[in-house]
Structure 1
Amino acid sequence: MTAQTPTTPSFRDPRLPFAKRIDDLLARLTPAEKVSFLHQYAPAVDRLGVAAFRTGQEALHGVAWMGPATVFPQAVGLGATWNPDLVRRIGEAVGREARAMRAGDDRVGLNVWSPTVNLLRHPLWGRNEEGYSEDPRLTSSLATAYTRGLRGDHPVYWRTAPVLKHWLAHNNETDRDTSSSTVRPRVLHEYDLRAFRETVEAGAVAGVMPAYNLVNGRPNHVSPHLREQLRTWTDQELLVCSDAGAPSNLVDSEHYFATHEEATAAALRAGVDSFTDHGTDPSRIVARVQGALDQGLLTEADVDTAVRRQLAVRFALGEFDPREDPHTDDSGFDTPEHRALAREAAEQAIVLLRNDGLLPLAPDTRVAVVGLLADECKLDWYSGTLIHRSTPLEGLYERFGADRVTFAEGVDRIRLRTSAGTFLRVPAAPDQPAQARGADGALDPALLAGRTDLPPLTCDATGSELALTDWGEGVLTLRAPDGRYLSVADDGLVRASADQPGGWIVQETFRLEPHAGGHLLRHLGTGHPVSVAADGVRVAGRPPEVFEIVVAERGEDAVARAAASADVVVVVAGNDPHINGRETEDRSTLRLPEHQRRLLRAARDANPRTVLALVCAYPYALGTPSPPAMLWTAHGGQAAGTALARVLAGDVPPAGRLPQTWYESDADLPDLLDYDVIGSRQTYLYFEGTPLFPFGHGLSYTSFGYADLTARVGDGALRVSFQVTNAGDVTADEVAQLYGRAVEASVPRPRRELLAHRRVTLAPGERTRLDFEIPLSALAFWDVALGDWRLEPGPFEVLAGASSEDVRLRATVHLEGTPAVPRPVLRRGLDAADFDEQSGAAIVDRSRTAGDAVTPAVGRSAELVYRDCDFADGVTEVSALLAGEGTLELALDGGPVLASLTLRPEEPLGPYAYTAVGAGIVAEGVHDVRLRLRGPLRLAHVDFRG
């Protein structure tokens, strides 16, 4: 224990509880110092010996952006492991590396912005790679495990302080800072909030980050759900950190507030405690907060509340108790244990989608490995710098021997002829300086990108052969003969200067556009076509060059040659995480890009014994006859290639399971901005079609038997038990999955819903009994008639098996719940958003601070249906809170219009100026109420009186 002197301030006394120490420090700070703490980069307070502090350190699947670190599989790959224990251990490793890296670099933060718990509702979301699953329970179980690992197990001091991203209902990059997600109450409570809630309630979360988008017309950075939901789930002081630039968006792009002072005050009062805006420059945020204080929009108590939450995190991280902090000596960085863990994670993340007996491969198999990702180990935006790397080709060389493995990348080899008859030429690269190489000698892409010290492309009579890869939608990359990617730096010159595509704005992508009998080569990073100038090849020059494409070799020809000479061909296909699907860019289609479909067809035509290994951040629809064996893995980090080779060889039987539905085609998908998973039947919970591969799917090299299911209800829980047996001849993992469904539901409920799962390792012939206890509260649904959770009585089916569609055992229990009753509309009225069904409606903000209203989404009309409304002995009047202009029509059941309520203000009053409009009505008994909105009208609430 640290000895104290009489002059030691209380906030330095580790014997006192954190709350008292925070009170003491807060009282010592001046108003200006407290305001300065509200920016992401809080300055030091030298007079108190308080160090500078910043919120935010990316650590989604390893410490990111801070140089070399252990790189684990992408989050969606960790989701495919269905293994909370593994994910917890990865969290521990990442937390240790963050601590170890911080010891030598104070830019490394301990308030980590991870994990992402946004649900993978729509597979075209560009950031699909960042989430764990489309299912809230699987997501929350893995997010809870990761945060526990990041937090550490010390009862007082946290290793790192994890912040969950991104609050709330965020699954689109298209117009992400201006689009609004319409989320009805049932979807809000049963789906989007659930993953956050269960993770926060587990107790290892330091806070959340609001998303860029709006929900029901209101920006997430002023969401009342932060106060009404998040902060009611725990007694802990949660820290809410804004997303980068989002505070300014409230005025600049969303136009939700007229001034930045109003916007900053509203965000602070809603619960945002740390403002990530304008990079390292705090001056504008400080000025906005001070302006809000001067205008009376904020009080000093509002500022104190936010600063208190920040200090709670800083004390928990041991900042003020360096002698007591058990994590200050963490030196776990690139250890043998972390390297082994990265390989274990990569192995467990591999999903065997199909196998007609082709796998595993015999030791003497001659393998052709082909495809655009066959010799790649891709990084994404949130990856650290690789210390070690392993591509599929390298893994197969290691496992089968280089003499038994042949390789064909499958790129098209081309030359580009200018209108003058010359060809583009890539000058030879000078020796790279030592600082451009990583620890393993590889070129560091972060140091290569944007370089201007390399010679630009020129033209001559012979030119250079370029490797062209079409990543889909006509988006191309071009590589020099030595493997460098063509890129454009700030000076506009085209150079072969990148080891990989990357960066916030990718400068390595192009498009060939037909023009004047040839093609323009348009650079997508700048939007300008390529021209040939005296000082070299550049973009935005005049005039643009018209190129003729001279093909030296088609990629499918090289693939066919390699495939024909092998016993088995492994086609490695997938995506580059920086192209056609990433942060800021959604995908436009599920289809595998045409270039890769060509390669797959060529391989299969040359050798029917074809294995397709998809290495990608999201599901694909193949659009071609399926090969006899298929595997999927997310980009697997530093051990990806070794792991894939070991699974192909049978050293590790595959046991990954799909964390989201793989659909047959784009026709199975709703609109990307349709967040109503219930109404539009999204995800495995509601989807009624036939998927390409269902949620939870994954095969093995052995078989498992399920038997002896028991299920009973008692003492507030559903208890289920069943037996799993390894019926094969190899030791392997099985992921046993438990689902449930309400048999006679009074409202649309999931077709089946994951209740629990367990990943177990079984030797040949070994059997184990799995026991699950599910609280009955987990079987409830959000009843909009009551505005609360309700456990519905009646039969409830329990399903156990190997996927959401591979159900092996069933049992039915009877739940004793609360029966449905008609809506008590005389007592509660109807909140507009509490509809049972809708057509053409959007939920919008009732006011800037709280509540929902409903308005027509498209066109000038919308219809709402409220089932089983009880008018008791009769009503004589209806009254509606309306804003805008138009008419609200009311009908019962399928009958005629009984009342029309029209609002025609003499002058526009704004979207939040509600007026109560009434009319007479005669009704009694129980009826369905149908409301039709005509015109630009907002409906907040309807009341009935007798």
Structure 2
Amino acid sequence: MTAPTAPALPFRDPSLPFGKRIDDLLGRLTLDEKISFLHQFVPAVERLGIAAFRTGQEALHGVAWMGPATVFPQAVGLGATWNPELVRRVADAVSHEVRHMRARDGRVGLNVWSPTVNLLRHPLWGRNEEGYSEDPKLTSAIATAYTHGLRGDHPVYWRTAPVLKHWLAHNNETRRDTTSSSVRPRVLHEYDLRAFHDTVAAGAVAGVMPAYNLVNGRPNHVSPYLAGHLRTWTDEDLLVCSDAGAPSNLVDSEHYFDTHEEATAAALRAGIDSFTDHGEVSAQITGRVRAAYDKGLLTEADIDTAVRRQLSVRFRLGEFDGWDEPGAYDTPEHRALARKAAEQAIVLLRNDGVLPLAPDTRIALVGLLADECKLDWYSGTLLHRSTPLEGLYERFGADRVEFAEGVDRIRLRTSGGAFLRVPDAPDAPETVRGAEGALDPALLAGRTDLPPLTADPRGSELALVDWGEGVLTLRAPDGRYLSVAGDGFVRASADQPGGWVVQETFRLEPHDGGHLLRHLGTGRPVCVAADGVKVAAFEEDEAEIFTVVVTERGEDAVARAAARADVVVVVAGNDPHINGRETEDRTTLRLPAHQERLLRAARAVNERTVLALVSAYPYAVDAARLPAVLWTAHGGQAAGTALARVLAGDVSPAGRLPQTWYADDADLPDLVDYDVIGSRQTYLYFEGRPLFPFGHGLSYTSFDYTDLEVRQDGDTLRVSFSVTNSGRVVADEVAQLYGRAVDPSVPRPRRELLAFRRVTLAPGATERAEFEVPLAALRFWDVTRGRWRLEPGPYELLAGASSEDVRLRATVGLDGEPGAPRPVREEGLDAACFDEQSGAEIVDRTRTAGDAVTPAAGATAELVYRACDFGSGVTEVRAEVAGEGTVEVSLDGGPVPVVLTADRDGGPYDWGTVTAALSAGGVYDVRIRLRGPVRLAHVGFSG
């Protein structure tokens, strides 16, 4: 007789709802086991048969950091496709590769930290490459598509569990863990929250990751918006994973809390469910949680809440049901998709007819990126590689393409007359090439078995590239980059610059008639010793003084090639690890001087010079002097093939700019000025003339827009128009619909993207673009009411090919909720709910909630509140203040200003009330000036 099978524990029973199963499992875990779940690396619970788990797997444009994978275009390039369906397919391929790679390597995680939905507010932000767009609508549409692809299409189980980055208002790398983004309510709701809200509400998001920065004086890792906004947008349990090291920053760099136990408890109560800190070592975090619990700073219910959210994700991933979906890896479909994405990401910025190129064109392909396929910090390792040079060789034939990289070739002479020499490396680079012929950086960078550089009378010629701001790389004759390993010696040991701290960058600094060669990774100058070339232990005492001997200027080689060609294609742009990347913002929109020299040299001898920008960022270039300009983000493994096919006309370009390209640095606000309304940022508010506008992109054909129709159907506008391919080639067009309030009562966007659609049209073909626009899309955040409001009046709808290329217009009158003066007699004024400001910064009222306003460093703050209704009259004004200084309250056209003095020395959270007499009735604009380090939370009126 067969013994009866023991019943499965309820959390193993797939017939039960996930909620009941989580309850059962949570009740079986001990307190210590639950605390252990709070670190990124969750240990196994063997007594219950529960496996170890890790939050976090980077997959921004392909599986990252886990070896070879399909590498798709950078995120900003995916945004430039304006094609959510294509992006969904890209993410679908990525999630299949995650599952495939996990089957082979348990380190690969299913909790995927992608996509990044931070808005590309400022083009100098170092992580511009990671976002999709400066516009909330476009960003959320692309991000929603990516999360749906990552989630998969099973009705119950998720293929991967995507986490959005980085919550909230994060657009600067400089001092990113200590700077505070001052975000007033309208900007918060209308701009920064929107991309997160719309993506989360679409239903395929497993969680978010807070950013390093502070918002309104409070670190994002204790943000009340996690509970007050994020968790109200969905019924799903959202897993909030901290960014790496950020929990410790609350004490160590931000000094927001006095102890780590206090900080950890505050973060957990605010909504952090998984702490990414101290790498794989969990003892510090679990020890802090336990100590916080023992001190009464946390309850077991607080811990249960966080663990429940993590378990919810694990159940959805099918872990407790043995569910898995067979993955796919480097398939022909994935390779074709990588090429298609790269093609659709290319934006034709300018063209006077030089493109497309005829098959018999003699091409000079020049520039520092002409034979490069650059990766970034969040790329996987290339399985396949296609550079522009390889793509043009394949498409036009090697006999029709002449290549000149344009590097400066130099020798470095020591003070003793010798030259730096790169010894031969017996096993590099050939024996470290992978199956596809690409060097594997993991086999080169940081190697200490290769011989270091020496100095001798003959020396070696080095290729020097100045990437701007004096940051340069040096390359050996066989292509290896000079790098510094942990032992301090300089070797030719890297295939590309890379790593968290780049060890392949240097600077030549004038010194005593020569130059110091300073290694930027260590900050120390290079010296020449008996055992080889190394970084000096002590500054100038050991530093070698070099003379730079130029053997060939890069522009000379470019000019020679350009003179022999029918057309010159200059490939310029950035290296994603240098001068603009995570931890490092850019300082200018200009191309590096080295690359501008190459462009001028080509243009001087051949007017038919095409500029192909391959970059993670917009640039300010003199486009009007060039017959054609293209831009693409770093396009992944198929970048070169895609560019060649567009240049040849095999594909008509149809990418569109996902952000404004400004003409000059002077057009930009300060990097940490987050008030997009007040400082007129992005295409929504910018009043200058951009170099290229948001949504811009040209084609090899032309399109006509006709028959705009607008009809209101309840709470929806039904908008349609026809798009016709009036040219001679099959091409894609991105039809764009914008809206604007014609006569708003408050500053509103000049125009705002409402809908878009990418369509493919044969010559002569017409397609009707039809959109449903909810009236809610035309609302604004009314600070006088603390909620959304649709203002009644005329609204203009604009259809066309970009935010500035408007082909059709229609005006529709909408009913809405009329405005009204602020009832300040009854409600007073929340300081942060101003209509206008200058010199002000929003800060935290307490560590857990609320906003206040204070003058920015060294400034006098002025706040303006329009149309304030004092009713039948008031006799007193009272201000809720902290700190020291004065609060001056004046009414435009009203009585003499009233000055209130704050004199509280108990710190920024020592709040009190000061009063003064003020006699006024009726409606006035209120102006408040703050002087000194005073904080103002609220102004009330009575009498």
Q: Shorter-chain TM-score: which interval?
A: over 0.9
Which range moved further: 860-869 or 639-648?
860-869
Corresponding residue SS for 1:673? coil
C-alpha distance after superposition, 1:336-371 (max 9, x if no partner): 000000000000000000000000000111111000
For 1:698-717, what aligned pairs fall within 5 Å after superposition? 698-717=697-716
The letter of the residue matching 1:414 is I
Offset at residue 429 of structure 1 (A): 1.0
CA contact (8 A) 1:860 1:936 kept: no
C-alpha distance after superposition, 1:449-488 (max 9, x if no partner): 1100000000111100000000001100000000000000
Structure 1: gaps spanning 5 or more residues:
none
2:912 to 908, 912, 915: 915
Offset at residue 713 of structure 1 (A): 1.9
Corresponding residue SS for 1:469? strand
Provide the C-alpha distance between the structure 2 equivalents of 1:724 and 1:657, rounded to a whole number of angstroms.
Answer: 17
C-alpha distance after superposition, 1:764-784 (max 9, x if no partner): 000011110011111100000
Provide the C-alpha distance between the structure 2 equivalents of 1:918 and 1:154, rounded to a whole number of angstroms.
Answer: 62
Match of 1:481 in 2: 477
Offset at residue 624 of structure 1 (A): 7.2
Match of 1:524 in 2: 520
Match of 1:448 in 2: 444
Offset at residue 933 of structure 1 (A): 1.2
1:469 to 465, 484, 494: 465
Provide the C-alpha distance between the structure 2 equivalents of 1:796 and 1:137, rounded to a whole number of angstroms.
Answer: 18
CA contact (8 A) 2:385 2:438 kept: no
Corresponding residue SS for 1:566? coil
Offset at residue 622 of structure 1 (A): 1.5
CA contact (8 A) 1:889 1:897 kept: no
CA contact (8 A) 1:721 1:771 kept: yes
The letter of the residue matching 2:282 is P
Match of 1:780 in 2: 779
How has the CA–CA distance of structure 1 residues 459 and 207 changed in structure 2, closer, same or farther, with 3 Å as cutoff? same
Match of 1:726 in 2: 725
Match of 1:118 in 2: 118
Offset at residue 5 of structure 1 (A): 4.7
The letter of the residue matching 1:482 is D
Provide the C-alpha distance between the structure 1 equivalents of 2:422 and 2:365, rounded to a whole number of angstroms.
Answer: 28
Provide the C-alpha distance between the structure 2 equivalents of 1:426 and 1:724, rounded to a whole number of angstroms.
Answer: 60
Match of 2:572 in 1: 573
Match of 2:740 in 1: 741
Offset at residue 437 of structure 1 (A): 3.6
CA contact (8 A) 1:371 1:596 kept: yes
Corresponding residue SS for 2:200? helix
The letter of the residue matching 1:116 is T
Provide the C-alpha distance between the structure 2 equivalents of 1:152 and 1:944, rounded to a whole number of angstroms.
Answer: 56
Corresponding residue SS for 1:885? strand
CA contact (8 A) 2:874 2:941 kept: yes
The letter of the residue matching 2:491 is R
Offset at residue 331 of structure 1 (A): 2.8
How has the CA–CA distance of structure 1 residues 675 and 73 changed in structure 2, closer, same or farther, with 3 Å as cutoff? same
For 1:633-644, what aligned pairs fall within 5 Å after superposition? 633-644=632-643
Match of 1:224 in 2: 224
Match of 1:493 in 2: 489
Offset at residue 825 of structure 1 (A): 1.1
How has the CA–CA distance of structure 1 residues 820 and 5 changed in structure 2, closer, same or farther, with 3 Å as cutoff? farther
Offset at residue 6 of structure 1 (A): 4.4
Provide the C-alpha distance between the structure 1 equivalents of 2:52 and 2:430, rounded to a whole number of angstroms.
Answer: 33
The letter of the residue matching 1:278 is H
Match of 1:267 in 2: 267
Corresponding residue SS for 1:681? coil
Which range moved further: 14-23 or 534-543?
534-543
CA contact (8 A) 2:893 2:924 kept: no
Provide the C-alpha distance between the structure 1 equivalents of 2:471 and 2:286, rounded to a whole number of angstroms.
Answer: 42
For 1:598-747, what aligned pairs fall within 5 Å after superposition? 598-623=597-622, 626-747=625-746
Offset at residue 887 of structure 1 (A): 1.6
C-alpha distance after superposition, 1:247-296 (max 9, x if no partner): 00000000000000000000000000000000000000000000100110
How has the CA–CA distance of structure 1 residues 179 and 152 changed in structure 2, closer, same or farther, with 3 Å as cutoff? same
Provide the C-alpha distance between the structure 1 equivalents of 2:735 and 2:575, rounded to a whole number of angstroms.
Answer: 32
Matched, 1:94 2:91: no
Offset at residue 719 of structure 1 (A): 1.2
The letter of the residue matching 1:926 is V
CA contact (8 A) 2:429 2:480 kept: no
C-alpha distance after superposition, 1:854-909 (max 9, x if no partner): 0011325211110000111111121111111122111101555432221224xx21
C-alpha distance after superposition, 1:812-855 (max 9, x if no partner): 00010001100011222111000001111100000000000000
Structure 2: gaps spanning 5 or more residues:
none
For 1:534-545, what aligned pairs fall within 5 Å after superposition? 534-541=530-537, 542-545=541-544
Offset at residue 4 of structure 1 (A): 11
Offset at residue 393 of structure 1 (A): 0.1
Corresponding residue SS for 1:188? helix
Provide the C-alpha distance between the structure 1 equivalents of 2:101 and 2:463, rounded to a whole number of angstroms.
Answer: 38
Provide the C-alpha distance between the structure 2 equivalents of 1:362 and 1:794, rounded to a whole number of angstroms.
Answer: 53
How has the CA–CA distance of structure 1 residues 217 and 4 changed in structure 2, closer, same or farther, with 3 Å as cutoff? farther
Provide the C-alpha distance between the structure 1 equivalents of 2:341 and 2:137, rounded to a whole number of angstroms.
Answer: 21
The letter of the residue matching 2:592 is P
Matched, 1:925 2:932: no
CA contact (8 A) 1:890 1:897 kept: no
Offset at residue 543 of structure 1 (A): 1.7
Match of 2:545 in 1: 546
The letter of the residue matching 2:856 is A
The letter of the residue matching 1:364 is D
How has the CA–CA distance of structure 1 residues 290 and 434 changed in structure 2, closer, same or farther, with 3 Å as cutoff? farther
How has the CA–CA distance of structure 1 residues 4 and 375 changed in structure 2, closer, same or farther, with 3 Å as cutoff? farther
C-alpha distance after superposition, 1:294-328 (max 9, x if no partner): 11000000000000000000000000011xx2xx2
Corresponding residue SS for 2:197? helix
Match of 2:897 in 1: 898
TM-score (norm 1): 0.98
Matched, 1:422 2:418: yes
Corresponding residue SS for 1:162? strand
The letter of the residue matching 1:670 is P
The letter of the residue matching 1:440 is E
Provide the C-alpha distance between the structure 2 equivalents of 1:89 and 1:711, rounded to a whole number of angstroms.
Answer: 32
Corresponding residue SS for 2:689? coil
- Percent of residue pairs bearing the same amino acid type: 79
Provide the C-alpha distance between the structure 2 equivalents of 1:415 and 1:792, rounded to a whole number of angstroms.
Answer: 68
1:431 to 415, 427, 433: 427
Provide the C-alpha distance between the structure 2 equivalents of 1:592 and 1:91, rounded to a whole number of angstroms.
Answer: 32
TM-score (norm 2): 0.99
Offset at residue 500 of structure 1 (A): 0.1
Match of 2:147 in 1: 147
Provide the C-alpha distance between the structure 2 equivalents of 1:131 and 1:237, rounded to a whole number of angstroms.
Answer: 25
Offset at residue 438 of structure 1 (A): 2.6
Provide the C-alpha distance between the structure 1 equivalents of 2:827 and 2:60, rounded to a whole number of angstroms.
Answer: 44
Match of 1:937 in 2: 934
C-alpha distance after superposition, 1:507-560 (max 9, x if no partner): 000000111111111000001111000000000245211111111100000000
Offset at residue 942 of structure 1 (A): 1.2
CA contact (8 A) 2:895 2:920 kept: no
Match of 1:854 in 2: 853
CA contact (8 A) 2:623 2:629 kept: no
CA contact (8 A) 2:350 2:623 kept: no
CA contact (8 A) 2:706 2:722 kept: yes
Corresponding residue SS for 1:685? helix
Provide the C-alpha distance between the structure 1 equivalents of 2:869 and 2:814, rounded to a whole number of angstroms.
Answer: 26
Matched, 1:513 2:509: yes
Provide the C-alpha distance between the structure 2 equivalents of 1:433 and 1:466, rounded to a whole number of angstroms.
Answer: 16
Corresponding residue SS for 1:456? coil
Offset at residue 447 of structure 1 (A): 2.2
The letter of the residue matching 1:831 is D
The letter of the residue matching 2:320 is F
Matched, 1:375 2:371: yes
Match of 2:752 in 1: 753
The letter of the residue matching 2:294 is D
CA contact (8 A) 1:368 1:570 kept: yes
C-alpha distance after superposition, 1:619-644 (max 9, x if no partner): 00125753100000000000000000
Match of 1:389 in 2: 385
Provide the C-alpha distance between the structure 1 equivalents of 2:151 and 2:415, rounded to a whole number of angstroms.
Answer: 62
Provide the C-alpha distance between the structure 2 equivalents of 1:7 and 1:707, rounded to a whole number of angstroms.
Answer: 68
